């Protein structure tokens, strides 16, 4: 059984504090002249790690860098021990120095001066932050020993209050306002994020899936694209996007598909441990190890897995959890042996179960069956019961996912089981808790919507994300693990931003998030808000996209651009959004031709070819020059190399070599994002 102390830790972690108190403002820079000094603690002490001191130094450098980018003024950074003849008098720092006469003090971290001012940081929980102003000082600090959050996150929070924004990777996505005078109103913030482990996965553009798309294009190598993607993601502030938002945090709970090791270790010796297939075999030799299905009722298999876990924990005594999540789907069916089927209650919720005719081959069909959750719970519980005899506090992470998303109907979960809840709806959450899930967290695939498979479209779901995050937080989520930011930033960037904001503060309102995002579009903000709200309305009402939708969205971007006129930086952000919109409109028009073909209507194949050539050149252009706008390699993989365009000659389509060579050799033929119609794009590429 898990100890009471472990349970209390979770209760404490979920507490958060957030409050503001108005005081007189503190000037950091005035009319291009420094008015503040950045102060960091001097020497590592026993109560704080060297890493925390390093974080404090980095935080001070980040603040110095952004203030310099905003004002052209570089604040001095000094150590506390370098400040002689300094005293605290009437809650004010008194410092006799000709160099820093009349200066304010920005105290980074929890140093001696902070303590002398009587500022206590004991209210800070893991990843918590504190920003507090006094008569002539700002204290910026964060919880010690954290992964995500802490003092650097406190600096980013202050920078946002000074008008900085970071919408997407790269210089265009970063807003650093130019100011001769920088000041902060009186403020007192102590904030502990209510979700201590805030996972938002950063999609790997060099993994197998996008690499298959990159190889299809054949324009640059994996290494070249890796360097290009990294270079295009750099910003003036030299800050990682996910670090800015405090994504991270870790208290030792992690999951994942766990049994890729079983077949290589036991495949030949124990074929009976693997799932009975439709062809009557249990042969998994043609199935990748990470996709192999197991016979969940086999007691010898359960015993072997339990022994494997015990041995692992013995070698890693500090581990808090292990995963028991089944392998993810592939060309293999779940076990249909009689013993496994006995574990599936007839009154369980009805599902469609995919059956592959032969393991390792794609030919398949569906049958009506019942949820497999009860058999999974039997499997998980059986392993947990054996292991906890030796390690009673070990936690076991499992998934509510796929054909075992719904809670069990007959079995209760072992008390040490942690459920990673994958559905993008709250429907089953509390029923899992009723089934015994004391520990549960949200691990959705919701960020895949709008572009992970087959098609890609603009996608906004701020309302939905806010509603779900509030629900899961109010109902006890101990962590998040979003899969994944897929790097379609021009189309889904607001969703990525929303998730990053919500894992830090799950109680933000949709209108707050959208306004904060659109703040970076200056005078054009109201039209950009309208742009995103229009997309969200289409998504929420499950409306099929129409050509008029693209026209309306173009008009909103055009109006925003007219408002900002010659403000190049803001215009570039609008152009970034238009790049994505242009790309998906071409895709939409090709889909329209497919629909006409299916209806038996006559189509102009020359017009189709022109659009296919345009689509292909746009992919190369975005890949090489604007890779964060749309993740082209992943898009190619997700569409099955444009499989749905087979009927119009678009599957595996590549533009003629002479057209591609002409494009690559002429640097003037490049999208700017200002192109406001398909006709302009065709003219640009000389099609």
Output the DSSP codes for 14-33: T-----------EEEEETTE
* Co-location of 96 and 232 in the same domain: no
* Co-location of 178 and 214 in the same domain: no
DSSP 446: G
533, 534, 535, 540 alpha-carbon torsion, rounded to 10°? 80
Q: Is residue 650 part of a domain?
A: yes
Check residue 44 and give its pLDDT: 57
CA 250 to chain centroid, in Å, comes to: 15
DSSP 333: P
Examine the pLDDT at 9 and tell me if it is beyond 90. no
* Co-location of 69 and 215 in the same domain: no
DSSP 590: H
d(CA 526, CA 514): 10
Check residue 19 and give its pLDDT: 44
Q: Is residue 569 part of a domain?
A: yes
The confidence band for 46, taking pLDDT boundaries of 50, 70 and 90, is low
Examine the pLDDT at 134 and tell me if it is beyond 80. yes
pLDDT tens profile 543-574: 889 999 999 999 999 999 999 988 999 999 99
Examine the pLDDT at 13 and tell me if it is beyond 80. no
Check residue 237 and give its pLDDT: 94
Q: Which residue did the predictor score with more confidence, 7 or 460?
A: 460
508, 494, 528, 626 alpha-carbon torsion, rounded to 10°? 150
Check residue 7 and give its pLDDT: 38
Check residue 23 and give its pLDDT: 52
Examine the pLDDT at 4 and tell me if it is beyond 90. no
Q: Is residue 317 part of a domain?
A: no
- Which of 166, 192, 218 is where one domain is finished? 192
Mean pLDDT for the stretch of residues 91-99: 88
CB 455 within 8 A of CB 645: no
Q: How far apart are the first and last CA of the chain?
A: 69
Q: Positive or negative, the Cα torsion across 358, 360, 365, 370?
A: positive
Picking from 43-52, 143-152, 373-382, 659-668, which range would have the lowest pLDDT averaged per residue?
Answer: 43-52
* Co-location of 63 and 168 in the same domain: yes
| Bond from prior residue into 484 cis (ω within 30 degrees of 0) | yes
Check residue 45 and give its pLDDT: 56
- Token pair of 366 as six digits: 């569906």
**∠ CA(43), CA(47), CA(52), 5° rounding?**
60
Structural element, H or E, at residue 534 = helix 525-540
Q: Positive or negative, the Cα torsion across 420, 517, 155, 61?
A: positive
What own/partner pairs with CB < 8 Å and gap ≥ 24 does 92-101 have? Answer: 92/134, 92/135, 92/136, 92/137, 93/117, 93/136, 93/137, 100/37, 100/76
* Co-location of 234 and 180 in the same domain: no
Q: How many CB atoms lie within 10 A of CB 342?
A: 11
d(CA 469, CA 553): 28
- Token pair of 318 as six digits: 């500090």
Q: State the total domains in the chain.
A: 2
d(CA 45, CA 81): 14
pLDDT tens profile 502-549: 999 999 999 999 999 999 999 999 999 999 999 999 999 988 899 999
Strand, helix or coil at 368?
strand
Radius of gyration of the chain (CA): 28
Size (the chain), residues: 687
Check residue 96 and give its pLDDT: 84
Q: Which residue did the predictor score with more confidence, 452 or 428?
A: 428
Check residue 29 and give its pLDDT: 98
Q: Would you tell me the crossing angle of helices 373-387 and 299-315 to the nearest 10 degrees? A: 50
Q: Is residue 604 part of a domain?
A: yes
* Co-location of 152 and 71 in the same domain: yes
d(CA 228, CA 235): 14
Q: Positive or negative, the Cα torsion across 206, 209, 210, 214?
A: positive
* Co-location of 33 and 182 in the same domain: yes
Q: Which residues of 174-197 are buried (b: 16+ CB within 10 A; e: fewer)?
A: bbbeebeebbbebbbbbbbbbbbb
Examine the pLDDT at 384 and tell me if it is beyond 80. yes
pLDDT > 90 in the chain, percent: 85
pLDDT tens profile 210-239: 999 999 999 999 999 999 999 999 999 999
426, 429, 430, 432 alpha-carbon torsion, rounded to 10°? 160
- Which of 192, 219, 239 is where one domain is finished? 192
d(CA 241, CA 496): 11
Check residue 22 and give its pLDDT: 44
Check residue 43 and give its pLDDT: 62
Q: What CATH number is given to the structural domain containing 115?
A: 3.30.379.10
The confidence band for 147, taking pLDDT boundaries of 50, 70 and 90, is low
Range of the domain at 622: 205-247+516-684
d(CA 352, CA 358): 18
Q: How many CB atoms lie within 10 A of CB 4?
A: 8
Mean pLDDT for the stretch of residues 561-588: 97
- Token pair of 486 as six digits: 């897929």
Q: How many CB atoms lie within 10 A of CB 657?
A: 8
Check residue 391 and give its pLDDT: 98
Examine the pLDDT at 69 and tell me if it is beyond 70. yes
Strand, helix or coil at 11?
helix
CB 521 within 8 A of CB 574: yes
d(CA 618, CA 681): 9
Q: Is residue 120 part of a domain?
A: yes
Give the residue ranges of DSSP H helices in 205-281.
208-217, 222-232, 241-244, 262-266
Q: Is residue 549 part of a domain?
A: yes
Q: In 173-265, at which residue ranges do the beta strands (DSSP E only) sit? A: 174-175, 182-184, 188-191, 197-202
* Co-location of 142 and 219 in the same domain: no
Instruction: Residue 274: name the closest of 322, 223, 332 by CA.
Output: 332
Contacts of 314 (CB under 8 A, 6+ apart): none
* Co-location of 36 and 182 in the same domain: yes
Q: Is residue 264 part of a domain?
A: no
CB 61 within 8 A of CB 76: no
The confidence band for 6, taking pLDDT boundaries of 50, 70 and 90, is very low
Longest Cα–Cα distance of the chain, Å, equals 88
Give the number of C-alpha atoms closer than 13 A to the C-alpha of residue 114, restricted to the C-beta side. 23
* Co-location of 611 and 575 in the same domain: yes
656, 660, 666, 669 alpha-carbon torsion, rounded to 10°? 90
* Co-location of 41 and 178 in the same domain: yes
Give the number of C-alpha atoms closer than 13 A to the C-alpha of residue 451, restricted to the C-beta side. 29
Q: Is residue 285 part of a domain?
A: no
DSSP 294: B
Examine the pLDDT at 120 and tell me if it is beyond 80. yes
CA-CA distances (angstroms) from residue 310 to 90, 300, 392, 420? 60, 15, 11, 22
452 Rama sector, left if φ>0, alpha if ψ -120 to 50, beta otherwise: alpha
d(CA 418, CA 430): 14
Backbone angles phi, psi at 27, to 5 degrees: -85, 130
Strand, helix or coil at 638?
helix
* Co-location of 240 and 153 in the same domain: no
d(CA 161, CA 436): 43
DSSP 402: T
Instruction: Residue 152: name the closest of 79, 18, 246, 78 by CA.
Output: 246
d(CA 241, CA 243): 5
pLDDT tens profile 463-497: 999 999 999 999 999 999 999 999 999 999 999 99
């Amino acid at each position: 059984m898990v100890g009471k102390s472990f349970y209390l830790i979770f209760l404490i972690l979920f507490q958060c504090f957030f409050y503001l108190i108005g005081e007189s403002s503190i000037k950091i820079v005035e009319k291009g002249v420094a008015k503040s000094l950045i102060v960091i603690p001097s020497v590592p002490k026993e109560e704080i790690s060297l890493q925390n001191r390093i974080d404090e130094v980095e935080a001070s450098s980040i603040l110095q860098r952004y203030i310099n980018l905003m004002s052209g003024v570089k604040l001095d950074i000094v150590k506390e021990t370098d400040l002689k003849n300094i005293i605290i008098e009437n809650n004010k720092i008194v410092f006799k120095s000709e160099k820093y006469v009349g200066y304010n003090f920005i105290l980074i971290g929890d140093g001696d001066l902070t303590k002398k001012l009587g500022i206590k940081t004991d209210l800070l929980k893991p990843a918590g932050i504190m920003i507090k102003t006094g008569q002539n000082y700002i204290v910026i600090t964060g919880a010690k020993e954290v992964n995500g959050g802490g003092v650097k996150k406190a600096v980013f929070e202050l920078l946002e209050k000074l008008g900085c924004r970071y919408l997407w990777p790269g210089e265009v996505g970063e807003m650093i306002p130019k100011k001769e005078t920088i000041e902060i109103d009186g403020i007192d913030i102590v904030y502990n994020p209510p979700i201590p482990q805030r996972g938002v996965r950063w999609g790997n553009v060099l993994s197998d899936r996008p690499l298959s798309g990159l190889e299809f294009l054949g324009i640059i190598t994996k290494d070249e694209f890796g360097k290009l993607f990294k270079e295009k993601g750099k910003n003036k502030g030299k800050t990682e996007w996910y670090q800015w938002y405090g994504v991270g945090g870790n208290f030792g709970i992690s999951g994942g598909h766990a049994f890729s090791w079983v077949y290589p270790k036991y495949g030949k010796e124990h074929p009976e441990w693997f799932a009975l297939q439709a062809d009557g075999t249990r042969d998994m030799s043609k199935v990748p190890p990470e996709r192999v299905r197991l016979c969940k009722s086999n007691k010898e298999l359960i015993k072997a897995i339990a022994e494997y876990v015990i041995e692992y924990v013995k070698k890693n005594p500090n581990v808090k959890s292990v995963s028991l999540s089944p392998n993810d789907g592939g060309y293999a069916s779940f076990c249909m042996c009689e013993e496994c089927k006995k574990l599936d209650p007839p009154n369980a919720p009805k599902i469609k179960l995919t059956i592959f005719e032969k393991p390792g081959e794609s030919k398949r069909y569906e049958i009506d069956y019942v949820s497999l959750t009860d058999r999974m719970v039997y499997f998980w519980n059986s392993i947990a019961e054996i292991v906890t005899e030796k390690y009673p506090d070990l936690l076991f992470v499992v998934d509510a996912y796929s054909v075992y998303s719904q809670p069990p109907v007959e079995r209760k979960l072992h008390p040490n089981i942690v459920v990673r809840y994958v559905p993008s709806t709250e429907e089953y959450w509390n029923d899992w808790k009723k089934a015994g899930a004391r520990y549960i967290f949200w691990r959705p695939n919701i960020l895949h919507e709008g572009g992970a498979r087959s098609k890609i479209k603009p996608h906004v779901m701020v309302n939905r994300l806010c509603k779900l995050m509030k629900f899961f937080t109010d109902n006890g989520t101990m962590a998040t693990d979003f899969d994944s930011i897929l790097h379609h930033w021009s189309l889904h960037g607001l969703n990525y931003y929303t998730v990053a904001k919500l894992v830090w503060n799950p109680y933000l309102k949709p209108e707050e998030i959208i306004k904060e995002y659109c703040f970076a579009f200056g005078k054009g903000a109201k039209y950009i808000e309208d742009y995103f709200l229009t997309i969200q309305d289409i998504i929420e009402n499950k409306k099929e996209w129409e050509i008029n939708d693209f026209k309306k969205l173009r008009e909103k971007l055009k109006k925003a651009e007219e408002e900002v006129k010659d403000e190049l930086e803001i215009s570039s952000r609008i152009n970034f959004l238009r790049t994505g919109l242009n790309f998906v409109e071409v895709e939409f028009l090709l889909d329209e031709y497919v629909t006409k073909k299916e209806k038996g209507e006559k189509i102009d194949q020359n017009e189709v070819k022109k659009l296919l050539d345009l689509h292909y050149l746009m992919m190369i252009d975005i890949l090489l020059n604007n890779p964060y706008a749309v993740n082209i390699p992943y898009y190619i993989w997700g569409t099955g190399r444009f499989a749905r365009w087979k009927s119009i000659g678009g599957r595996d389509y590549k533009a003629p070599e002479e057209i591609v060579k002409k494009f690559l050799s002429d640097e003037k033929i490049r999208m700017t994002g200002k192109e406001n119609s398909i006709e302009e794009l065709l003219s640009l590429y000389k099609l």
